[in-house]
């Protein structure tokens, strides 16, 4: 027997998926997927439909259903969520769609999940997870190649849909706080969610009407500074949510309202999230720059790690001094030898692919010096990706090798793979880079190679052949199969959006 749960039962699951999608869209955009909107619109009236807005502009919708089935005398809850965003990034349109299905028992224990991200012109990426005891077996398929790993889950882990049911059956009182741990399929990671009931407040609904509603605030450990506020009526039905990022709001609506065509986008997530500094003359010729960093509501030590090229020092009045020093390939150092994972093959760095091996040989030619191979690789990858765009997927190295298309993520991943084929340890790096045309810093990915005892930055997107002081690092990843999904490395950057003032104090050439 199958039944459909009432509207509003998926508020936490939807909020978590929105956050993961925004991270991916800002810094590692997905390409268009062929979701069947018309088919989705024919489902029952009790389905949960929401419009997604950013800064007052519609950018997408979410559609969620929760059904129950009885299997072997036990009630199983099946939740399906389709979320679609249509936005601009540096002038190019991005359509990002995620299809997610989870199954759980009546006690909220996760049984299985399925996640689909379709990445034209490259292949689909599918993730399947099944729980046995407290071990999740996760299989991810990219480029037609399956990768399997196991993740140990905490005993107390619950689903976000289960928690919503508990809130409906046992409403929270003002000032009360509850927390639970759940698994986020979009990041393949456990996160802790905390809910606090706050005083009722007035808010404007989709119709323009102002209503006084119950309010609760959600925080989760993946992005602890981003607060999601849910607005519910006295029956516990969510009518609106707001996310403390980019003016993002969702409104409960009809299927017709959700599926209505999106007007031409004015919001550009690439341009509108730039951290403005003003003009930096000869920025990519700089050898050392001292910045004044003024953060709001976040700890910059957790965002900008100290390294051989980057030093963050506390200053006055809550400000920090961030000093970036250029490093060129060939500079000797004494950093620890890299772990084996920086030479290993993985789902994204697929070294056994014939096209990757062929390109690595073309890149190196007869050169045997690792420093010269790395420098040649930066220029080689820059030239190989003939189609520079901001609508490519976070593709695997072999997909990039064949498509010759992409943005900074594809340049970074392909260069890392070619270097590893030539036995040069490598990793991808996330952070901020200066954009001359925008007079400020935006999200970026590049590569680091371990050469002569140092991790040396290489940027195949720009391919200037030397270091500079306008790459600000926030994280790095070996992209090994045991890690969470690559988009996780972009998470620290989210805290800087709308919360960072960056001033150039001194430039040295």
DSSP 268: B
- State mean pLDDT over 369-386: 97
Where is the domain boundary, 228, 259, 290? 259
Q: Tens of pLDDT along 79-89?
A: 998 888 887 77
In sign, the C-alpha dihedral spanning 373, 376, 380, 381 is positive
Q: Tens of pLDDT along 295-338?
A: 998 899 989 999 999 999 999 989 999 999 999 999 899 999 99
**Cis preceding-peptide flag for 347 (omega within 30 of 0):** no
Phi, psi of 432 (to 5 degrees): -120, 145
240 and 287 housed in the same domain: no
For 254, the enclosing helix (H) or strand (E) is: none
317 against 38, higher pLDDT? 317
- Determine the Cα–Cα distance for residues 422 and 343; give it in Å rounded to an integer: 9
Position 33 pLDDT exceeds 70: no
- Determine the Cα–Cα distance for residues 220 and 496; give it in Å rounded to an integer: 17
- Determine the Cα–Cα distance for residues 168 and 166; give it in Å rounded to an integer: 5
Angle between helices 354-364 and 370-384 (to 10 degrees): 120
Q: Is residue 266 part of a domain?
A: no
Q: Tens of pLDDT along 468-485?
A: 999 999 999 999 876 655
Helices then strands, each counted (H, E), the chain: 9, 26
Position 44 pLDDT exceeds 50: no
Q: Is residue 264 part of a domain?
A: no
Q: Tens of pLDDT along 89-138?
A: 777 777 778 899 999 999 999 999 999 876 544 446 788 999 999 999 99
**Mean pLDDT of the chain, nearest integer:** 86
334 and 253 housed in the same domain: no
Position 489 pLDDT exceeds 90: no
90 and 157 housed in the same domain: yes
Q: Is residue 110 part of a domain?
A: yes
Q: Is residue 380 part of a domain?
A: yes
Neighbouring CB atoms inside 10 A of 257's CB total 15
Q: Tens of pLDDT along 146-205?
A: 888 899 999 999 987 788 788 778 889 999 999 999 998 877 889 899 999 999 999 999
Position 363 pLDDT exceeds 80: yes
Q: Is residue 245 part of a domain?
A: yes
Domain boundaries, position 356 = 275-508
Neighbouring CB atoms inside 10 A of 97's CB total 21
How many domains are contained in the chain? Answer: 2
Q: Where are the alpha helices (DSSP H) in 195-294?
A: 255-259
87 and 195 housed in the same domain: yes
240 and 331 housed in the same domain: no
295 and 238 housed in the same domain: no
**pLDDT value, residue 91:** 73
225 and 308 housed in the same domain: no
309 and 206 housed in the same domain: no
302 and 386 housed in the same domain: yes
252 and 321 housed in the same domain: no
Phi, psi of 203 (to 5 degrees): -155, 155
Q: Is residue 289 part of a domain?
A: yes
CA 260 to chain centre: 27
CATH code for the domain of 363: 3.10.620.30
373 and 255 housed in the same domain: no
118 and 247 housed in the same domain: yes
Q: Give ∠ CA 488-449-310 in degrees, rounded to 5.
A: 70
């Amino acid at each position: 027997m199958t039944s459909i749960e009432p509207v509003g039962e998926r508020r936490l699951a939807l909020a978590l998926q929105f956050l993961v999608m925004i991270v991916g869209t800002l810094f590692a955009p997905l390409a268009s997927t062929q979701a069947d909107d018309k088919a989705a619109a024919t489902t029952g009236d009790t389905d949960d439909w929401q419009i997604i807005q950013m800064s007052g502009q519609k950018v997408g919708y979410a559609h969620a259903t929760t059904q129950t089935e009885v299997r072997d005398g036990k009630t199983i809850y099946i939740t399906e969520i389709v979320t679609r965003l249509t936005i601009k990034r540096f002038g190019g349109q991005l359509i990002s769609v995620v299809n997610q299905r989870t199954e759980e028992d009546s006690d909220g224990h996760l049984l299985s999940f399925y996640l689909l991200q379709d990445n034209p012109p490259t292949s689909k990426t599918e993730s399947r997870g099944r729980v046995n005891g407290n071990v999740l077996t996760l299989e991810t398929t990219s480029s037609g190649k399956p990768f399997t790993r196991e993740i140990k889950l905490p005993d107390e882990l619950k689903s976000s849909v289960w928690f919503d049911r508990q809130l409906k059956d046992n409403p929270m009182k003002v000032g009360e706080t509850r927390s639970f741990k759940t698994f986020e399929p979009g990041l393949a990671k456990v996160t802790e969610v905390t809910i606090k009931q706050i005083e009722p407040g007035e808010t404007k609904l989709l119709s323009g009407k102002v209503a006084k509603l119950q309010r609760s605030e959600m925080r989760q450990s993946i992005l602890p500074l981003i607060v999601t506020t849910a607005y519910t009526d006295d029956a516990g039905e969510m009518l609106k949510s707001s996310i403390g990022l980019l003016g993002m709001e969702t409104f409960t609506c009809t299927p017709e309202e959700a599926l209505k065509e999106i007007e031409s986008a004015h919001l550009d997530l690439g341009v509108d999230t730039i951290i403005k500094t003003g003009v930096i003359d000869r920025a990519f010729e700089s050898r050392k720059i001292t910045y004044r960093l003024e953060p709001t509501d976040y700890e910059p030590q957790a965002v900008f790690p100290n390294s051989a090229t980057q030093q963050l020092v506390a200053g006055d009045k809550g400000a920090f001094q961030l000093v970036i020093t250029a490093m060129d390939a060939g500079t000797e150092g004494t950093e620890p030898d890299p772990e084996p994972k920086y030479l290993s093959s993985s789902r994204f760095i697929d070294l056994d692919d014939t096209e990757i091996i062929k390109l690595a040989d073309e890149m190196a030619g007869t050169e045997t010096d690792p420093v010269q191979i790395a420098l040649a690789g930066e220029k080689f990858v820059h030239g190989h990706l003939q189609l520079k765009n901001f609508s490519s997927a976070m593709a695997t190295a072999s997909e990039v090798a064949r498509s010759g298309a992409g943005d900074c993520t594809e340049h970074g991943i392909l260069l890392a793979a070619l270097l590893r084929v030539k036995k040069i340890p490598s990793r991808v790096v996330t952070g901020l880079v200066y954009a001359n045309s925008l007079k400020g810093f935006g999200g970026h990915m590049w590569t680091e190679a371990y050469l002569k005892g140092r991790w040396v930055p290489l940027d195949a997107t720009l391919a200037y052949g030397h270091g500079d002081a306008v790459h600000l690092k926030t994280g790095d990843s070996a992209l090994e199969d045991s890690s969470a999904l690559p988009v996780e490395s972009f998470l620290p950057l989210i805290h800087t959006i709308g919360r960072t003032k960056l001033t150039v104090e001194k430039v040295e050439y």
